[in-house]
């Protein structure tokens, strides 16, 4: 039973006892609620596409517990050649090692995907700039968006404010205190983290954390979850938090 | 009586030369005859010849008798009396404000002409061929006895233009007398370059300039329309006379609400200061504004202390409010479509957290902002053109009473779209809400959201023609495009449709021809129901199939425009009407489109114009210009705002309505400026060789002086004369012939022949 199911059962119990207002009942999803979000992870050739096989479910549980997003708890594994790739506008690309170059058709597909509204989160489990996975990622991104390099995301980027007001970037290790991204027009459809986010999200079968987060420990892990949630909400709401109506509230909270 | 005149045509010197020649001949004749005759005979014959020569010289001088007859005529006299509205201002600068017994400038003119036991106007009417003409914007002859009925009524003074016209009249050639305050506001503001006046003009100035006290709003400029949310400016000039050292407040109001106040310090006489005021309108529609200065102590004219104007506040963008129940791809792509549209200004709220979601950080580490329920539903709702409820249920967030505001907002002309999902329609609890009354679908509280099945969208007959679902202009291509759009995977069930169904859904697990997209009109507003939360697939899945995302983007943009009643999407469109002057014909044009937005060829149009008092006039219309365009002529009779309403139908079906308004107004601004202009009157008198005098100096004596001038210019007598030429008959020749015959006979008798 996940947290959300527990809350639902608990609420129904309270309702039965007449202790909770109908308001809460109304807010509960019915059984036919659709899953709005599916975490799709790219399988690629060469390297290691799956460094943390159990990382997604903890993140999805956290996402559903903290936000109104209805998400599938398990990830969806896709290849860039899958016919239903565009059913999943959020893609996750992770790895430790250098992988084989994408085919030209895959490059075209990914360019189309990212240009017209899709989103890609890249997570480097190795955390070595210029080596292994990082080297392959930068190479492939140059093929997809020639001349459009990764740029450091500014501290005020909407992805860092889409739910939590983030001041730090979490992960298993702090290989980089900043996120990088590729901008296309007013949005950033590619965000790249080198801190091994998946490693921080991952639990084993009995619920223990697979990897220790250093040097920040559990606070650093919490930051990794917060970042994961923020990036997912950013993908689903784009620059929503840059809308004028949010700016004075966010500015006020950040200056406290 | 006959008088004798010499009217010979030959010059005197020639006549004198002839006389000298004749004398010389006589002397020679006398000498010759004296040698042959006695002295008596010589003198006799020389005398006869001298008589002949004298007669000839005399006749060379043209002797004539002239009979003169003198006839006295009644002199023509033209009085021009200014009856413009400024002549209603107080004649004296010492008049207390609000003193209703004070004499107006026109009253003073009347007094001068009609006062006393022997009114001057009667004397003039008796002694002269009197014509009295009142003038303002035109020349209107009036009976001399009807001066009492003159009113300061004309909305403008075309003084110089009308003087030019009046002096060209042959009856006024000897001169005209003008009573005026000298204020002119026609096209001609000075005599420069206007050409000379055709007759002398005697100007009589009315109104005091000494001690004249007035503050006024002059040179006023305001825009006819402004954009909502954008500042507009008005420029005006405050002028003051006789008020040096005072400060006056300037109020800028919208309706009765004060927008701002300025204090104007008057430090000169005359005084003039430019002022710029600004305002940012937040509400659409026509709003009345005013700028005013309160009446000041001893101020003669208070009518010019206030300017009222209307500004039509339009939207430069369609303001859309979206409420999304949670982050979702449908929101993501809806937002993308609206953000890419320069005509749409999007304000969106996405409910990132439900009341059951917990957070693991203090609230101040979240970017969530409180949903401003009261601000949105009580204050700002009217400022949005379209509200989109995107898979959103009100139940967790606010009292259903707020939905009554949304219902009323629709009835008042707003646009509402409900997009499907597990929080929409019956699943969102709208079946028993106020919105049920304005949604284009019927809700019964039992409709479910189905997340299964592959749903195909199919155009209905109405959908094929409707501007929302018209993705391509060609009907066949449009239908083909819809048939190729990606399948959907979720559908809200509704009991039925109350408006028009544009798209139906068919596929696995769905009822046949279930409504997918429906639209309706409720009150003045429009609503749309899209029974799916999957419309984003028409965009992104199409991209994955290497097709265009534009169909989805276009659908969203067209839906927003239709809901916002964007003029280009209206089937009946009245064109803007220029501002005519009263009695000036104005052509009212409109465009009529069929349901499929093609021009309507044979529309039946009811065009009505409502006068400022609200009286309707039916205006007949006919085809005009391009296909689908119609026009009708209307002539406003008076100043004021006229409302225009047009309704068109074709084949018995109403196509739509539109309304607008226009203002008929003279452009003179007669009451804006009450300061008499004796300088101009003096210039007119000087330029036309007339004379200026103040009305205070006007009396019978001064008139006699003017009469003497008129007499000098053109005498009022006619002299007839008859000439009798003394040489042009037989008698003079008979006498000369007789004298010569006697001389011949005597010469013969005395043996000279």
The tokens 């001169």 sit on which residue? B175
Q: What is the pLDDT of residue B301?
A: 83
Number of inter-chain CB pairs under 8 A, A vs B: 156
For residue B270, whether the previous peptide bond is cis, meaning omega lies within 30 degrees of 0, is yes
Instruction: Tell whether the model's pLDDT for residue B307 goes beyond 70.
Output: yes
B448 contacts A32? CB cut-off 8 A: yes
DSSP string covering A48-104, please?
-S-S-TTSHHHHHHHHHHHSS--B-SS-EEE-TT-TTGGG--EEEEEESS--PPPPH
- Contact check, Cβ <8 Å, B332/A237: yes
Tokens 């937005």 sit on residue? B597
Closest to B649 in 3D by CA, of B605, B598, B588: B605
Q: What is the pLDDT of residues B128-149, one digit of tens each?
A: 888 999 999 889 999 988 888 9
Question: Angle, to 10 degrees, between the axis of helix B105-114 and the axis of helix B120-127?
Answer: 60
**Strand partners for B517:** B503, B530
Quote the minimal CA–CA distance from A155 to chain B in Å.
14
- Which among B254, B56, B173 is positioned nearest to B714, based on CA atoms? B173
Residues of chain B with Cβ-Cβ distance to A8 below 8 Å are 356
Convert the pLDDT of each residue in B645-664 to its tens digit.
999 998 887 888 888 888 78
A27 and chain B in contact, CB less than 8 A: yes
Provide, as residue numbers in chain B, all residues whose Cβ is less than 8 Å from the Cβ of A30: 422, 427, 449
Q: d(Cα B120, Cα B128) in Å, to the nearest integer? A: 12
Tokens 């705002």 belong to B641
- Tell whether A15 is within 8 A of chain B (Cβ): no
Taking only the tens place, the pLDDT of each residue in A148-199 is 999 999 998 999 999 999 999 999 999 999 999 999 988 999 999 999 999 9
As a three-state string, the secondary structure of A15-44 is HHCCCCCHHHHHHCCCCCCCCCECCEEECC
Per-residue model confidence as pLDDT tens for chain A (256 residues): 444 444 444 433 333 333 333 332 233 334 445 678 999 999 999 999 999 999 999 999 999 999 999 999 999 999 999 999 999 999 999 999 999 999 999 999 999 999 999 999 999 999 998 999 999 999 999 999 999 999 999 998 999 999 999 999 999 999 999 999 999 988 999 999 999 999 999 999 899 999 999 999 999 999 999 999 999 999 999 888 777 777 777 677 666 5
DSSP E strand boundaries for B593-716: 604-610, 616-619, 622-623, 629-634, 640-650, 653-664, 691-694
Collapsed DSSP state (helix, strand, coil) of residue A219: helix
pLDDT at B595: 63
Q: What is the pLDDT of residues B155-199, one digit of tens each?
A: 889 898 898 888 888 877 778 999 999 998 877 777 775 567 888
Q: What CA–CA distance (Å, rounded) separates B530 from B549?
A: 18
| pLDDT at site B193 | 58
Q: How far apart are CA B673 and CA B212, in angstroms?
A: 12
d(CA B22, CA B615): 99
Quick one: tokens of A114? 């990212």
Average pLDDT over residues B337-343: 87
Q: Does A82 touch chain B (CB under 8 A)?
A: no
Q: E strands along B46-104, which residues?
A: 63-72, 75-82
Asked if residue B315 has pLDDT above 90, the reply is no
Domain spans in chain A, listed from the N-terminal domain onward: 1-26, 39-254
CA–CA dist A63, A228 (Å, integer):
8
Band the pLDDT of B223: cuts 50, 70, 90.
Answer: confident
- Count CA within 13 A, CB hemisphere, residue A228: 31
Of A27, A222, A241, the CB nearest to B367: A241
- Predicted confidence at residue A21, as pLDDT, reads 31
Phi/psi of residue B416, each to 5°?
A: -135, 130
A72, A39 Cβ separation under 8 angstroms: yes
A155 touching chain B per CB within 8 A: no
What is the per-residue pLDDT for B658?
86
% chain B with pLDDT above 90? 42
Q: How far is CA A208 from CA A62, A174, A201, A213, B414, in A?
A: 15, 21, 11, 13, 55
Return the pLDDT at B668.
67
Check residue B753 and give its pLDDT.
77
- Residue B596 scores a pLDDT above 70: no
| CB-based contact, A6 to chain B, within 8 Å | no
Q: CA of A203 to nearest chain B CA: how many angstroms apart?
A: 19
Q: B540 at the A interface (CB within 8 A)?
A: yes
Tokens 């909770």 belong to A20
The partner residue sitting opposite A233, judged by closest CB among B327, B429, B490, is: B327
Q: Which residue among A65, A112, A165 sits closest to B357, beta carbon to beta carbon?
A: A65
**A85 at B interface, C-beta within 8 A:** yes
* B468 against B640, higher pLDDT: B468
Q: Would you state the pLDDT for residue B599?
A: 80
Contact A118 B540 (CB under 8 A): yes
Q: How many residues does chain A have?
A: 256
Please report, for residues B184, B252, B269, the alpha-carbon distance to residue B239 in angstroms, rounded to integers and kept in the order given. Answer: 17, 17, 9
Residue for token digits 């005197």? B12
Q: Is B327 in contact with A243 (Cβ distance < 8 A)?
A: no
Q: Which residues on chain A are in Cβ contact (under 8 Å) with B328?
A: 36-37, 69, 236
Assess whether pLDDT exceeds 70 at residue B1: no
The total number of residues shown for chain B amounts to: 753
pLDDT tops 90 at residue B610: yes
Question: Does residue B3 carry a pLDDT above 80?
Answer: no
The encoded tokens of residue B510 equal 């769905």
What's the pLDDT score for residue B715? 64
Q: Which of A28, A118, A240 sits opposite B356 (nearest CB)?
A: A28
Q: Are B421 and B330 in contact (CB under 8 A)?
A: yes
Predicted pLDDT of residue B717: 64
- CA distances B376 to A251, B205, B307, B419, B494, Å, are 22, 63, 35, 19, 28
Model confidence at B314: pLDDT above 80? no
Domains and CATH numbers, chain B: 2-70+723-749 (no CATH), 75-206+676-713 (3.40.50.410), 214-313 (2.60.40.10), 318-568 (3.40.50.880), 570-664 (2.60.40.10)
Which class is A39-254 in CATH?
A: alpha beta
Scored b (16 or more CB within 10 A) or e, B137-151 reads bebeebebeebeebe
Whether the CB of B368 is below 8 Å from some CB of chain A: the reply is: yes
Which range is most confident: B101-115, B534-548, B593-607?
A: B534-548
The Cα–Cα gap between B537 and B551 comes to 11
Residues 6 or more apart in contact with residue B71 via CB below 8 angstroms: B717, B718, B719, B720
What is d(CA A144, CA A166) in angstroms, rounded to the nearest whole number? 29
Rounded to whole angstroms, the maximal C-alpha distance in chain A is 63
C-alpha B457/C-alpha B448 separation (Å) is 19
The closest alpha carbon to A70, from A200, A230, A191, A232, belongs to A232
Structure tokens at A90: 């959020």
User: Does A52 lie at the interface with B, CB-CB under 8 angstroms?
Assistant: no
- Beta pairing partners, B610: B616, B643
**Cβ contact (<8 Å) for B422 and A66?**
no
Closest-CA distance of chain A to residue B420, Å:
12
Closest to B56 in 3D by CA, of B25, B28, B86: B25
Closest C-alpha to B19, from B47, B48, B55, B62:
B55
In this prediction, what percent of chain B has a pLDDT beyond 70? 95
Specify whether the CB–CB gap between A198 and A51 falls below 8 A: yes
- Please work out, in degrees rounded to the nearest 5, the angle formed at the alpha carbon of residue B77 by the alpha carbons of B73 and B81: 165
Q: Which residues of A touch B540 (CB under 8 A)?
A: 86, 89, 116-118
Residue B385 confidence (pLDDT)? 92
0.80 surpassed by pTM? no
Q: Which residue on chain A is closest to B547 by alpha carbon?
A: A112
- Pick from A105, A108, A109, A139: which is nearest to A122 by CA? A139
């Amino acid at each position: 039973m996940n947290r959300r199911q527990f809350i639902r059962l608990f609420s129904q119990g309270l309702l039965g006892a007449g202790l909770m207002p109908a308001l809460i009942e109304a807010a509960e999803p019915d059984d036919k609620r659709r899953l709005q979000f599916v975490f799709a992870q790219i399988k690629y050739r060469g390297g290691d596409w799956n460094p943390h096989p159990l990382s997604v479910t903890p993140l999805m549980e956290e996402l559903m517990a903290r936000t109104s997003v209805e998400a599938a708890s398990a990830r969806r594994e896709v290849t860039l050649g899958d016919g239903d790739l565009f059913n999943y506008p959020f893609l996750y690309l992770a790895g430790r090692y250098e992988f084989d170059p994408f085919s030209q058709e895959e490059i075209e597909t990914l360019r189309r995907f990212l240009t017209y509204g899709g989103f890609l989160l890249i997570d480097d489990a190795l955390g070595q700039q210029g080596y292994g996975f990082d080297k392959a990622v930068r190479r492939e991104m140059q093929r997809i968006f020639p001349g459009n390099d990764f740029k450091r995301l500014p501290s005020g980027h909407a992805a860092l404010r889409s739910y939590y007001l983030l001041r730090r970037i979490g992960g298993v290790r702090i290989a980089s205190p900043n996120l990088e991204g590729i901008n296309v027009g007013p949005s950033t459809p590619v965000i790249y983290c080198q801190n091994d986010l998946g490693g921080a999200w991952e639990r084993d079968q009995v619920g223990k954390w697979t990897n220790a987060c250093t040097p920040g420990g559990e606070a650093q892990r919490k930051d990794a979850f917060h970042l994961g949630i923020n990036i997912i909400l950013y993908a689903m709401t784009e620059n929503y938090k840059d809308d004028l109506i949010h700016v004075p509230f966010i500015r006020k909270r950040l200056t406290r | 009586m006959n008088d004798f005149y010499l009217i010979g045509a030959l010059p005197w010197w020639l006549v004198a030369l002839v006389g000298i020649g004749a004398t010389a001949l006589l002397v020679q004749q006398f000498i010759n005859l004296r040698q042959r005759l006695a002295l008596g005979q010589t003198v006799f014959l020389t005398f006869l010849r001298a008589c002949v020569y004298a007669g000839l010289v005399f006749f060379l001088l043209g002797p004539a008798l002239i009979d003169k007859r003198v006839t006295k005529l009644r002199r023509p006299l033209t009085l021009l009396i200014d009856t413009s509205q400024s002549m209603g201002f107080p004649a004296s600068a010492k008049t207390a404000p609000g003193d209703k017994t004070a004499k107006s400038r026109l009253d003073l003119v009347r007094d001068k002409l009609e006062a006393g036991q022997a009114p001057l106007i009667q004397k003039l009417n008796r002694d002269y061929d009197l014509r009295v003409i009142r003038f303002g914007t035109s020349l209107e002859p009036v009976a001399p006895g009807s001066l009492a009925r003159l009113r300061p009524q004309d909305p403008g003074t075309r003084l110089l233009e009308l003087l030019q016209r009046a002096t060209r009249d042959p009856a006024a050639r000897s001169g005209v007398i003008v009573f005026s305050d000298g204020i002119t506001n026609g096209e001609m503001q000075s005599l420069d370059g206007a050409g000379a006046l055709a007759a002398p003009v005697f100007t009589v100035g009315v109104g005091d300039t000494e001690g004249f006290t007035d503050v006024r709003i002059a040179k006023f400029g305001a825009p006819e329309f402004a954009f909502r949310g954008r500042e507009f400016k008005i420029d005006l000039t405050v002028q003051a006379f006789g008020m040096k050292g005072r400060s006056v407040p300037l109020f800028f109001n919208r309706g009765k609400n004060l927008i701002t106040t300025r204090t104007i310090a008057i430090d000169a006489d005359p005084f003039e200061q430019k002022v710029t005021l600004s305002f940012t309108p937040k509400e659409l529609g026509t709003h009345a504004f005013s700028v005013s200065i309160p009446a000041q102590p001893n101020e003669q004219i208070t009518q010019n202390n206030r300017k009222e104007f209307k500004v039509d506040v339009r939207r430069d963008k369609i303001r859309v409010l979206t409420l999304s129940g949670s982050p979702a791809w449908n929101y993501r792509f809806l937002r993308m479509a609206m953000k890419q549209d320069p005509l749409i200004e999007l304000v969106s709220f996405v409910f990132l957290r439900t009341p059951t979601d917990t957070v693991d950080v203090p609230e101040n580490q979240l970017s969530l902002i409180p949903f401003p329920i009261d601000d949105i539903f009580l204050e700002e709702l009217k400022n949005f053109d379209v509200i989109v409820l995107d898979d959103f249920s009100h139940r967790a967030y606010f009292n259903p009473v707020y939905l009554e505001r949304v219902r009323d907002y629709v009835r008042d002309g707003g646009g509402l779209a409900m997009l499907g999902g597990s929080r929409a329609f019956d699943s969102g609890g709208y079946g028993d809400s106020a919105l049920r009354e304005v949604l284009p679908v019927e809700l019964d509280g039992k409709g479910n959201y189905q997340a299964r099945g592959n749903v195909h969208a199919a155009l209905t007959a109405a959908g094929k023609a409707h501007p929302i679902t018209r993705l391509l202009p060609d009907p066949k291509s449009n239908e083909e495009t819809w048939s190729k759009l990606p399948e959907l995977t979720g559908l809200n069930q509704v009991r039925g449709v109350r408006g028009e169904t544009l798209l139906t859904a068919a596929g696995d697990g769905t009822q046949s021809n279930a409504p997918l997209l429906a639209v309706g009109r409720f009150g003045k507003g429009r609503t749309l129901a899209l029974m799916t939360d999957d419309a984003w697939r028409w965009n992104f899945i199409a991209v994955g199939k290497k097709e265009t995302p534009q169909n989805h983007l276009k659908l969203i943009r067209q839906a927003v425009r239709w809901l916002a009643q964007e003029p280009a999407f209206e089937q009946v469109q009245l064109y803007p009407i220029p501002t005519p002057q009263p009695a000036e014909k104005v052509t009212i044009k409109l465009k009529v489109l069929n349901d499929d937005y093609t021009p309507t060829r044979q529309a039946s149009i009811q065009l009505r114009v409502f006068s400022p008092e609200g009286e309707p006039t039916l205006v007949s219309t006919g085809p005009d210009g391009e296909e689908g365009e119609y026009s009708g002529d209307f002539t406003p009779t008076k100043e004021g705002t006229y409302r225009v309403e047009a309704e068109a139908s074709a084949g018995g079906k109403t196509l739509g309505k539109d309304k607008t308004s226009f203002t008929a107004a003279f452009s003179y601004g007669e009451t804006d400026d009450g300061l008499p202009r004796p300088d101009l009157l003096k210039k007119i008198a000087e330029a036309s060789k007339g004379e200026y005098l103040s009305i205070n100096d006007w009396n019978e004596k001064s008139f006699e002086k003017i009469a003497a001038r008129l007499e000098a210019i053109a005498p009022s007598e006619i002299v007839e004369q008859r000439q009798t030429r003394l040489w042009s008959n037989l008698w003079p020749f008979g006498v000369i012939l007789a004298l010569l015959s006697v001389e011949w006979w005597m010469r013969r008798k005395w043996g000279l022949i």
